[in-house]
Structure 1
Amino acid sequence: MEVDPLTVDWSPEQTATMQALRDWAVSFTELNQHLAAWMNLPGSDANALGQIIWAAEDGQPLTPADLARQIGMTSGATTVLLNRLETAGHIRRSREHTDRRRVTLRPEPGAREQARAFLAEAGAEIAATLQDTGTAELRQVIAFLQRITGASAAANKRLQNRAAGHRRAAAAAARPDRPESR
């Protein structure tokens, strides 16, 4: 189903949902800024460190490419950021796969403990809200967020493919015509 988001008639509930999602994203970004101050890091470094810690806690450690995609940085900029975090003692890179070229990002225990201390301080209201919400409601929220995340992922993939096509076309257009063989 193709929908033009700018011309469709949205219900008040749909509009309120999008506004609430935006408000959560803004609030989460602000929490990340507090984490950055807590750990005396630039915001981008705190965001990356948070992603690395969450992934490790979830048993799904990130690669540098995964992290670059999640934080919206180029691989080169991500490498510079990871060098800073590693030099500061917040992360380590390891080669723990059979393919030794694959690097895994792991938080160092000290960084993990600093982040836990921050969450204990900053996450009290969020934890209380989650604890006060019934299982059925949480399951509905999870299902909805999974669908909206899937829709966002599909849009991102479509836009990445479109951008790659534009880059290929621009590169082809920039090549000088080769003389035809005689």
Structure 2
Amino acid sequence: MTRLDPLTEEWAPEQTAAMQALRDWAVRFAELNQHLAAWTNLPGSDANALGLIVWAAEDGTPLSPAELSRQIGMTSGAASVLLNRLEAAGHIHRTREHTDRRRVTLRPSPDARERARQFLGVAGVEVAQVLQDTSLDDLRVITAFVSRLAAAGAAANDRLRRR
């Protein structure tokens, strides 16, 4: 693969428009997370973590504390304090579901799951409509593109962590 210099490379208007649209979505998504925090009466970092825990459990891929820590950009100690708050408030449970009993899985409480569903019922209407109005072929192309972009971002983050 040829190594590009992002600062000197010539970019097509469609390429910069795609990046701008993704940035706009990231900003709007962060705003939605702020609304989730208000909806759940949680600090923003706690609501963000809870949202990730709920979404992962709904997807059938529950998070470990280490994976959550990486996703929210906190040290394991800071994430542990955050998880203690969520657990004490009854929002999550830590379980040991693996044969290796040292591995912990994060699960949302039924009440936290229901609150997230209520929030999505109010806040997710427009996003759900866009997904419903987009053809399955277009969604496959978009998903493939965003997945490649996410993998590139993960590779960049791994490289930066090793520096």
Same fold (TM over 0.5): yes
Q: When the two structures are superposed, what TM-score results if normalisation uses the length of structure 2? A: 0.98
Offset at residue 2 of structure 1 (A): 0.4
Match of 2:158 in 1: 157
Q: Distance in 1 between matches of 2:87 and 2:76?
A: 16
Offset at residue 72 of structure 1 (A): 0.3
Give the % identical residues.
71
Match of 1:175 in 2: none
Q: Distance in 2 between matches of 1:101 and 1:122?
A: 37
Structure 1 residues without counterparts, runs of 5 or longer: 163-182
* Pairwise CA RMSD: 0.5
Q: Distance in 1 between matches of 2:103 and 2:51?
A: 21
Which of structure 1's runs of 4+ aligned residues deviate more than 4 A? none
Offset at residue 120 of structure 1 (A): 0.3
Structure 2 residues without counterparts, runs of 5 or longer: none
Offset at residue 160 of structure 1 (A): 1.0
Match of 1:66 in 2: 67
Match of 1:44 in 2: 45
Deviations 1:89-111 (A, max 9, x none): 00000111111111110000000
Q: Distance in 2 between matches of 1:95 and 1:124?
A: 35
Q: Which has the larger radius of gyration?
A: 1
Match of 1:88 in 2: 89
Offset at residue 33 of structure 1 (A): 0.3
